[in-house]
Amino acid sequence: MLWNAKEISLYLKEKAYIDTIIVPLLPISFSDRTKQEAEQAEFITLLTNLLERQFKGRMLLVPPFTYLSEEDAQHRLEKLQKWIQEFESRQFDHVFCLTSDSGWKEFESDLDGKLIWMPSIPLEHMEEKYKRKIVDDQVNQLVKLIVQKWQTN
């Protein structure tokens, strides 16, 4: 489900079936990393949207967790943990945080397996056909990973 009025009303009606949340983690800054971050945002947004399409009936795609890259990492982590706690208290048994920002990697253990880090692929100059193929491959990997997590508990 997407975070819009029409699909959320379906969510409210069918709550029992929707137990998974996906959160894109997107950094923002105006520095030498700006372009890279824009590219990450494009890639992660595309990926999460395709995933949502695949798993529409069990997965809620919430608005991205956006933060300034300069922001203190510890502070950012606490804030994300609050988000996760809130989701878990609302009967979302599976929370997945998808990002290309390598800054999160050191917190992998703090996030308890909920972090999925994907290296961002520069799609900007790519031909439409290859773009689709590459992104499809990435989505398929994620699909497998998520189905696996669903089956383990």
Alpha-carbon gap, residue 107 to 115, rounded angstroms: 9
The piece of 10-18, 23-31, 75-83, 116-124 that touches another protein (CB under 8 A) is: 10-18
Q: Which of residues 88-147 bind another protein (CB under 8 A)?
A: 132, 143, 147
Name the minimum Å distance from CB 95 to another protein. 16
What whole-number distance in Å separates Cα of residue 141 and Cα of residue 132?
A: 14
H-helix or E-strand spanning residue 117:
strand 115-117
Alpha carbon of 37 to those of 18, 30, 44, 88, 120: distances in Å? 31, 9, 10, 29, 9
What's the distance, CA 53 to chain centroid?
A: 13
Check residue 55 for interaction with another protein (CB under 8 A): yes
Q: Is 45 in the site for another protein (CB under 8 A)?
A: no
Is residue 65 at the binding interface for another protein, with CB under 8 A as the rule?
Answer: no
Our CB check for another protein shows the closer of 14 and 70 to be 14
The DSSP letter of residue 107 is: G
Our CB check for another protein shows the closer of 32 and 128 to be 128
One of 29, 54, 69, 138 touching another protein (CB under 8 A): 54
Contact call for residues 95 and 23 (beta carbons, < 8 A):
yes
Contact positions vs another protein (CB under 8 A): 10, 14, 17-18, 53-59, 132, 143, 147, 150
